[in-house]
Amino acid sequence: MLSEVLLVSAPGKVILHGEHAVVHGKVALAVALNLRTFLRLQPHSNGKVGLNLPNIGVRRAWDVASLQLLDTSFLGHSDGAALTAEHVEKLKDVAGFSEDCVDPKRLAVLAFLYLYLSICRSQRWTEENLELINKWAFQGERVIHGNPSGVDNAVSTWGGALRYQQGKISSLKRPPALKILLINTKVPRSTKALVANVRSRLLKFPDIVAPLLTSIDAISLECERVLGEMAAAPTPEHYLVLEELIDMNQHHLNALGVGHASLDRLCQVTTAYGLHSKLTGAGGGGCGITLLRPDLERPEVEATKRALSGCGFDCWETSIGAPGVSVHTATSLDASVQQGLDSL
């Protein structure tokens, strides 16, 4: 049992280029954001393990004793590498969920239960061991998304900017601290369904869709090359290339069928301010990113943010290349984060 409060955080992330294509073996470029999710693990003496996820309105508690009595042999001696459909079914029983379980709140509870029961069972918590954290995070992703490529958990574990292809990860050396807007259209979507739709489109029209995936791969590689050059000496021309790559990829993603009217709106609004945007992640709603060139004046950025908020979107101004999963002491935390945690 923990003797004191443990604070950990992991960065949010966006995929610069390569979403969907990465599921089909192509390259993705993913970057960690300076927007973090904090987790406070706090010892209690009330015999309960509680889960409080305020952002999505989940609050649950279980008796530790009853969890300890559960027969968790079905989990085996996994080291974060072996989640099966049967595991998920058993976890639904533990959580008291019915057959149909697609609600994101319920999926989050299932991911928590899986990690809690498995980690307790294997008696290993090595927070320095990034490989292990990444493996567990991947299993959490699998509970929620089914068959993820692994790029999302990898970039939130290692941070920075990663090139990811078929499980092979390399970090970009000294990525430029690009400023971006991260915009949440608040249109819900299922990553699992969108990934499956791209797969069906690839099977239905292989000669049309495969070249799109190859072209997205080339966009990721070109972006990697430009980011590498920018590490040494960023120029306005580099930003123009990044903007062109964003526009081309956004069109490809629309052709793959993962666009959405809300994302079209997002792109139109930012185009009106001379800025370039693309969806990031699964698409079908969800989030988009907008590149903020360094020459932009503050009033232009503020006006763009106001216009996006006017569409009902949430909008954060942030930068790329944040540190990966981290442990914090209470004293090293930002006052605003500390306040947020204290208000729970």
The SS3 of residue 122 is helix
Cα dihedral 79→83→84→89 (10° resolution)? 120
Tell the smallest beta-carbon distance from residue 207 to ligand MEV (Å): 22
- Residue 181 structure tokens: 């807007």
> By C-beta, is 20 or 90 nearer to ligand MEV?
20
Residue of 103, 152, 207, 314 marked catalytic: 152
Cα dihedral 155→160→166→168 (10° resolution)? -120
In sequence order, what are the residues at sequence separation of 6 or more whose Cβ sits closer than 8 angstroms to the Cβ of residue 234? 176, 294
In sequence order, what are the residues at sequence separation of 6 or more whose Cβ sits closer than 8 angstroms to the Cβ of residue 134? 153, 154, 157, 158
Alpha-carbon distance of 235 to 237, in angstroms, equals 5
> By C-beta, is 152 or 305 nearer to ligand MEV?
152
> By C-beta, is 47 or 104 nearer to ligand MEV?
104
Please give the residue ranges that form the binding site for ligand MEV (CB under 6 A): 15, 19-20, 22-23, 148-149, 151-152, 191, 195, 281-282
> By C-beta, is 156 or 304 nearer to ligand MEV?
156
DSSP structure class, residue 227: H
In sequence order, what are the residues at sequence separation of 6 or more whose Cβ sits closer than 8 angstroms to the Cβ of residue 59? 50, 51, 52, 53
Q: Is 152 a catalytic residue?
A: yes
Tell the smallest beta-carbon distance from residue 129 to ligand MEV (Å): 23
* Catalytically annotated residues: 152
